[in-house]
A and B are shown apart, each in its own frame.
Chain A
Amino acid sequence: MCIVIFFLSILQKENHSYQDNDNNIEHKVVLHHPGEKMPVKALLTQVKDKTGFTTGYFMDVESVICLENVCKIIPVRLYWNEIGEYQRYTLEQGATLEKYEADVFATEDYKKLHTILQNKNSPFKEVYIEDILTVKNEIADNVDAISGATALELDPEDTVPGAALTCFTLWHWANGEITPIIKQLTATTATNKQLIVFINTKSTTHYTLALEQLTQRNLYQKKYLEAIFKTLKSKKSPTKPTINYLETATEKDYLKYIKKLFYQGNVEQKIAALKSIAKTDSPTTPLYLDRISSYANTLQSYQEVVALLNMLEDKKHFSEQTANNLIPLLNADFLTARRVYWFLSNKKLTNTQNQKVIMFKNLYKNKI
């Protein structure tokens, strides 16, 4: 019973009419399929709900690449969610998929095809169509002197036996170039408000798409930045798009928010923020860098301290205040203390500061 329900859910034999609502947008797309020599033109339909949110996409493709014009081609409708992840497929009423020698798909084969299309890392990702078309030699892979067998040998779990070409064809339609196209369509057609929803409530993919869009649209208002920093506290956000976004803000906003990222971010984000400051052309005042260094004693790991000191060295910044901020770290774990010692040892220090550095040197003269 369970199998029957599942089967029906992935293989809805329908007239596709329910998707034809007013909110749908059709996009002409050109796709490269590894089994086709020439690019293929197709019509991708973007499905939106009543509020204007993209809820998914669908596209009609051919079930199999037919090189000899002897195989039966069945139209297949593929469905994706709004970030280009394959969801399901449907066939027209009464249509069936075929295997080699006119054998038809059994119920289990339809189910397995769905599983194969769901697997982003299916073996079909890496094989060539020539391997599939070569006649299978059952002992080809197992002889030390063989010279030319090219038969594709797939685990039966990874393919529908007798329909490898159909699996290959549909897998690349479902998981190929269409995915980044869908992501871009969803992102570029989203309203500014929807981008905030992406940041707040969705996956890291949504977060990344939203920040790329904010960057492209040059949106740095408080509401966006607040949404980003609110997310920082609630879940692990990808660091790279955050840094990329902040680095394209105005100098003032960049310096303000990269510092905030350093204060509030996790270890990875703190280190990334310090590396960003180290290479930025935005003018960093001594006061700004002193403030950054004042957080030295809150850092939890050696790597963060190294990133901080590397940044100060890159910026050629040193001040009495910075020294004061760093001196307490001479009492931190030895590796951290030694790194701080090296930073301070060639600087012009006050007498009090100098005494502490000399004390450290004398204490650990065999280890530095």
Chain B
Amino acid sequence: MERRDFFKKGTKAAVAASVIPMITTAHAGPKDIIYNRDTDKWYNLGSGKTGIPNRKKTADYDVVVIGGGAAGISAAVSSARNGSKTVLVQDRPVLGGNASSEMRVHLNGVNRLNSGKAERETGIIEEMLLLNRFDNEQEAFPVFDHVLYEYVVREPNLTLMLNTQAIEAVMSGSKIKSALCWQATTEMLYTLNAPIFIDCSGDGLLAATAGAEYRTGREAASEFNESYAPKIADGWQMGATLLMSSKDMGRPMKYTAPSFAIKYDFERAHPKRKFAGFQDGIWWIELGSDDDIIAGFEENRHRLMGYLHGVWDFIKNSGKFPEAENLALDWVGSLPCRRESRRFMGDYIVSEKDLTEHKHYPDAIAYGGWPIDEHVPGGIDSISKQPTYFHHHFDDIYEFPFRSLYSKNISNLMFAGRNASQTHIALSSSRIMATCALQGQAVGTAAAICIKKNVTPKEVGKKHINELQEQLLRDDVYIPKRPANDPNDLAKKVNLIFASTTSSGDVKLLTNGISRDIDGQINHWMSKGLPAELQLEWDTPIMVSAVELKCDTNVKRNIMMRKDSRNDKLYANGVPKEMVKAVRIQGRVNGTWKDLGTIELNKTRLIKFQFLSTKVTAIKITITETYGAKDVKLFEVRCYA
């Protein structure tokens, strides 16, 4: 489909728009688009009319986000919350991307460092996973779809479009003017106009059609001095996996492989192609490409379905798995879970040494820590090779810079997730969904700054990076080695802060700008018993309208949903017992305490109170209940006018 087919005045519009200031845009409208259904022979028996159905719509937004996975949701929600009218465009019927019920990959993050502990991502991704703990204790992937749906549709400034694919960027010079989107379920062609576009779709079709520079394949080791990269660059992209799950039927179950099954060659298989946990799927049933992985997707999908049934046939009928006798497949994937395709180029390309040597960036906005986990070229076709190479495990988390999240040549385009600006080897670690979500929150927040200040993403990176980092920190993102220092935070100007009891940490740490215990340092206050009170005193009265707390949810323990419902020291499948459940805020007005807000059933780590602006000399925070812990632990208190 050629872009020009859609426009009458494409060339003129592009020339005219190129002299218009960056953010202000000449919007395309329905009249610009040739998509007339004038040959449609609809005779509506109900109305008795014959006519042309309306199949074209145009909408204006501040920010258009493409892709409804962890990165896209995070981008859209953060953009909307920070004041931008936002639309989230998702090409599937469900949200969640690789973690949706269509694919069912565990939403992993910094699950385990060499210390043996997690360093869980906070901010929006944490909110989603906590909501899942409340609403999906049974850990069902289809329910997770709806948890994410609830999380998105409840945002007042955010519009969700499902079953809608962004197929083409309409350009004005080096700027995207509109995204043409096709909504399959309604046969509707949408033109979405906006000053800022964010592509979190993984494959990045919108960004590619915009002309954003991108690469696929593996860099040569010499280009970025990468020790795990091949000597000579090649086109290999890691494979997509097709998962499945089975159910114990309580009686022997037969299995006959379908005609398209590909026999599993056990004799040639590398011993590291293990079957542990096979009843919930096998990750190494994967196929990639050394050329055009997107064009080859359907062919790979068919072969993966064949491999999946071949492996299951081996499990059921080889006699090597007596424990599988009562098992039957109760779900089989039809949509492979993609790891790698396009990587768009930003002003910085993150590479292996940046991760392993823990490069510190002045524009750090996210972090990662999954091992450098490069899946084998060929995937399951390379049956005699081990399925992945864990080149490097991390002692500590690494930083990720903002400069890798906007296009170097398309002025109003950002991206987050596996299509960010990085090498193949860096992607082998940073592709993990919770890491992508942190990037998503960063670009969503940056988009809102672009809108407020009428600047490009590049200008945010150059002139407003402090503001971006401060907003992310306020919104509960952790940025390594970057304590918050918000000049508007009145809690930092407090004359005295004290607690009713203390069992560990110090109440003074609640304003130090670091909202987790990390790098061997304690940054918390913990009460001795409940209820517990905190009091902040100012010697001069202040106007306050918001109080924000960050409570403990135990970021050293994973809370992502897993099919196996692990529940041990590293994984928990319930609501973290440490989290605050009930809390009350009071302000002292003319010497008398006045109630400012009460939460009885808190469900977030970042707890926000907003109330009418009130002149107070003190704030009292009373925590009456957690979800099980006998003491309450907080990491931060903020107050705003």
Tell me the A residues contacting B by CB distance below 8 Å: 123, 125-128, 131, 134-155, 240, 268, 271, 302-303, 306, 334-335, 338, 341-342, 345, 366-368
Contact = CB atoms under 8 A, between A and B. Distances in A.
A145 B243 contact: yes
Interface in B134-162: none
B274 A123 contact: no
B245 interface: yes
Interface of B: 104-106, 108, 111-112, 116, 241, 243, 245, 272, 274, 276-284, 286, 337, 339, 370-371, 373, 388, 390, 431-433, 495-496, 498, 500-501, 529, 535, 537, 539-541, 562-564, 566-570, 590-592, 617
A154 B568 CA distance: 11
A334 B274 CA distance: 69
Given A149-B276, A334-B539, A142 B371 contact: yes
Contact of B539 (A128, A138, A306, A335): A335
Contacts of B495: 335
Contacts of B104: 147
A134 B569 CA distance: 16
A367 B243 contact: no
A167 B567 CA distance: 19
A144 B591 CA distance: 56
A104 B529 CA distance: 46
Given A147-B563, A147-B564, A137 B277 contact: yes
Given A126-B568, A139-B274, A146 B106 contact: yes
B496 A143 contact: no
Where chain A touches its partner, the secondary structure class is loop
Given A338-B617, A342-B591, A367-B541, A148 B279 contact: yes
25 contacts: A131-B568, A135-B276, A137-B277, A139-B388, A140-B276, A143-B284, A143-B373, A144-B432, A145-B241, A145-B286, A146-B281, A147-B106, A147-B277, A147-B280, A148-B277, A148-B280, A148-B281, A148-B564, A150-B564, A153-B570, A271-B500, A302-B496, A341-B591, A368-B590, A368-B617
A366 B539 CA distance: 10
Contacts of A155: 116
B532 to A, nearest CB: 13
A306 B536 CA distance: 13
A128 B337 CA distance: 31
A147 B566 contact: no
A127 B564 CA distance: 15
B105 A145 contact: yes
Nearest to B541: A367
Nearest to A301: B498
A151 B564 CA distance: 11
A134 B109 CA distance: 24
A128 B105 contact: no
Contacts of A367: 539-541, 617
A56 B395 CA distance: 42
Contact of B388 (A128, A141, A143): A143
A125 B568 CA distance: 10
A123 B569 contact: yes
B84 to A, nearest CB: 31
Contacts of B390: 139, 142
A298 B268 CA distance: 84
Contact of B566 (A135, A150, A268, A306): A150
Contact of A128 (B111, B541, B568): B568
Given A144-B105, A145-B241, A147-B564, A302 B498 contact: yes
B389 to A, nearest CB: 10
Nearest to B371: A142
Contacts of A366: 540
Contacts of A137: 274, 276-277
A144 B277 contact: no
A151 B276 CA distance: 8
Nearest to A306: B535
A366 B617 CA distance: 11
Contacts of B112: 141, 153
Contacts of A303: 498
B324 to A, nearest CB: 13
A126 B563 contact: no
Given A144-B108, A146-B106, A335 B496 contact: yes
A271 B243 CA distance: 60
Given A140-B276, A334-B539, A147 B245 contact: yes
Nearest to A134: B276
Contacts of B566: 131, 150
Given A143-B283, A368-B591, 7 more contacts: A144-B431, A145-B106, A148-B281, A152-B568, A334-B539, A368-B541, A368-B617
B351 to A, nearest CB: 20
A147 B243 contact: yes
A135 B539 CA distance: 62
B540 A127 contact: no
A335 B111 CA distance: 46
Contacts of A139: 272, 274, 388, 390
A368 B433 CA distance: 51
B591 to A, nearest CB: 3
Contacts of A147: 104, 106, 243, 245, 277, 280-283, 562-564
Contacts of A138: 272, 274
Nearest to B337: A145
A201 B370 CA distance: 51
Contact of B567 (A128, A146, A153): A128
Most buried by A among B272, B337, B563, B566: B566
Contacts of A142: 371, 373, 388, 390
Contacts of A134: 276
B283 A126 contact: no
Nearest to A343: B591
Contacts of B283: 143-147
A146 B281 CA distance: 7
B315 to A, nearest CB: 13
A148 B591 contact: no
A341 B243 CA distance: 70
Contacts of A240: 529
B17 to A, nearest CB: 41
A125 B617 CA distance: 46
Contacts of B590: 368
A318 to B, nearest CB: 15
B118 to A, nearest CB: 11
Contacts of B570: 153
Given A126-B568, A126-B569, A334-B539, A141 B280 contact: no
B568 A144 contact: no
Nearest to B277: A148
A164 to B, nearest CB: 12
A148 B278 contact: yes
